[in-house]
Amino acid sequence: MSDLFWLDTGIGQPLVLLHGGFLDHRMWDDQVPALAERHRVIAPDARGHGRSANATEPFRHTDDLAALLRRLDIGPAVLVGVSMGGSIAVDTALEHPELVSAVVVSGAGTSEPNFTDPWTVRTWTTWQTAMAAGDVDAAVEAFMLFAAGPHRTLDDLAPQVVGRLREMTRSTLSKHTTDEPDLRVPVRDTWNRVTKIDVPVLAINGTLDSPDHIGMAEHLTRTVPGGAAISIDGTAHYPNMERPEAFTKALEDFLRTL
């Protein structure tokens, strides 16, 4: 695990914060100080993201996370993830259930997404085209559209939030090349297996996120026993960054029920 980076701060109930795709642990900068007052907060950079090394052999993000938790000798832990981080949290509840005490997702279901909304499909295709062409600038800007969601433009977001997202995305995308093999190994049959998750699951969605992202998170919480979903107004795919106080309160309210 020496090739992966993680933040480890605070004491108490273990709480793992999992960042979105092409971002890194810094997306949680607004939450870490508050949460670390009552929890041991672990915020890793996923393989190929942020300060963690790129993959050199086939891997699964969920196995990386499980190995980290075992190395730190913590668990079961509450896993909190936005977008890709949410899917890693769900996958870990399926693949390594002994390490998970609860799951919180935002804008995500499992690691097998289902995109059908025209805006989501168009935005995803634009991003993939830019990535295939090796155009980092275009790829960054295409990916940034998810932050605004289908109902806004980036001009509607706070400039500091846009700047943080853009810097993290560029940093991670710049670590990769177009001829680099995709060594990720998928977790299979996740949607059929989520009924086996027997820990509390909460979705905290931004009301301005795409219908696909909201729909996957809400479908997850309707499918698992004891699932629940809440919404935060005025934010899309990254509610923890756009409305950090509201997100942190919703998370802390949930943690107090465990």
Q: What is the pLDDT of residue 89?
A: 98
Residue 179 has pLDDT above 90, yes or no: no
Contacts of 14 (CB under 8 A, 6+ apart): 39, 40, 42, 69, 74, 75, 76, 77, 78
Residue 34 has pLDDT above 90, yes or no: yes
Q: What is the pLDDT of residue 96?
A: 98
* Per-domain residue ranges of the chain: 6-115+181-255, 118-173
Sign of the dihedral through C-alpha 194, 227, 245, 93: negative
pLDDT, mean of residues 225-240: 96
Q: Which helix (H) or strand (E) holds 240?
A: helix 239-242
- Calculate what percentage of the chain has a pLDDT beyond 70: 99
Residue 210 has pLDDT above 90, yes or no: yes
Give 226's pLDDT tier (boundaries 50, 70, 90): confident
Considering only the top CATH level, what class is 6-115+181-255? alpha beta
Q: Which helix (H) or strand (E) holds 89?
A: helix 84-95
Long-range contacts of 178-186 (CB under 8 A, 24+ apart): 178/131, 178/132, 178/133, 178/134, 180/54, 183/55, 183/56, 183/57, 183/58, 183/59, 184/55, 184/58, 184/59, 184/60, 184/61, 185/58, 185/59, 185/60, 186/60, 186/111, 186/112
Among candidate residues 204, 223, 224, the one with its CA nearest the CA of residue 214: 204
Mean pLDDT of the chain: 96
Give 138's pLDDT tier (boundaries 50, 70, 90): very high
- The residues with which 228 forms a beta bridge, in sequence order, are 202
Residue 51 has pLDDT above 80, yes or no: yes
- Calculate what percentage of the chain has a pLDDT beyond 90: 94
Q: What is the per-residue burial (b if ≥16 Cβ within 10 Å, else e) of 125-157?
A: ebbeebbeeeeeeebbbbbbbbbbbbeeeeeeb
Q: What is the pLDDT of residue 237?
A: 98
Residue 1 has pLDDT above 80, yes or no: no
Residue 2 has pLDDT above 80, yes or no: no
Q: What is the pLDDT of residue 75?
A: 81
Contacts of 122 (CB under 8 A, 6+ apart): none
> Which range among 61-65, 129-133, 169-173 shows the weakest confidence by mean pLDDT?
129-133
Q: What is the pLDDT of residue 178?
A: 85
Sign of the dihedral through C-alpha 130, 134, 140, 146: positive
Residues 66-121 have pLDDT tens digits of 999 999 999 899 999 999 999 999 999 999 999 999 999 999 999 999 999 999 99
- Distance CA(251)–CA(241), nearest Å, equals 13
The angle at the Cα of 14, spanning 12 to 16, to the nearest 5 degrees, equals 140
Give pTM, 2 decimals: 0.97
Residue 195 has pLDDT above 70, yes or no: yes
